[in-house]
Amino acid sequence: MASTIRQFTQWLQSPAGRQYFFSTHFWGPVANWGLPVAAIHDMGKDEDLISGTMTGALTIYSMTFMRFAWRVQPRNYLLFACHAINATSQSVQGGRFINYWYMGGRERRLLGHQTEGKATPTPPPS
């Protein structure tokens, strides 16, 4: 373990390490990690808050840039991982959206709220 940390520290202090950490190959993916973190965080929220249009757009965006991260030379594995996780989490959100609005999830929730005497969820997005 100590030798691995020592090797990483030596690489970090080398010109190649500094060049990597001061490049867009590092900071671009780091900045992009906000998207999958937000999508994962939103999985715990109500389905009526999910925007189907935005979820679809973010899924296509992440799939497109996953391909870019794989095709660019040198390959940007950090960007690829970021977009792979985002595409997966956005797909889960898309499934939740479809289940809620088109597969009876909203009706089941409304019936549950009526029997418990709670307020009804918001109307579908336009």
| CA gap 122, 126 in Å, rounded | 12
CA–CA–CA angle 92, 94, 97 (5° rounding):
115
**89 confidence band (pLDDT: 50, 70, 90):** very high
Mean pLDDT of 90-112: 87
Q: Does pTM top 0.85 for this prediction? A: no
pLDDT digits over 7-49, tens only? Answer: 888 877 888 777 777 776 677 777 888 889 998 998 888 888 8
Identify which has the larger pLDDT, 83 or 22: 83
The residue extents of the domains of the chain are: 24-116
Helix (H) or strand (E) holding 37: helix 34-42
